[in-house]
Structure 1
């Protein structure tokens, strides 16, 4: 009885660790993509494309138009 309960707890902890690891990987991936987008947006080589954006020349993440 106790062995099966312990096995169940071990399984739950394994699933929990897998889920948390996937969430952390996804979280850091979102931060990395956000930083890349900011670098691209404020890079002088890409300044000409700001006028082509439909919402104006504001920050695309904050949706601020100037």
Structure 2
């Protein structure tokens, strides 16, 4: 996945197989149009970058920690 970020920096984040599978499943479930946002708000508008950051942070805190090897 390629993103254009702050300071005119381009970033490339690899999507692993589980993430790709989850995204495909989500797209089938939501049944939207190609022009619809991938992650809509309750009103159907795109989530802001701040909202995404907030949600990821909240869920990351609640996620189980992987076992150390």
Q: TM-score, normalised by structure 2?
A: 0.28
Larger strand share, 1 or 2? 2
Larger helix share, 1 or 2? 1
Q: TM-score, normalised by structure 1?
A: 0.29
- Whose Rg is larger? 1
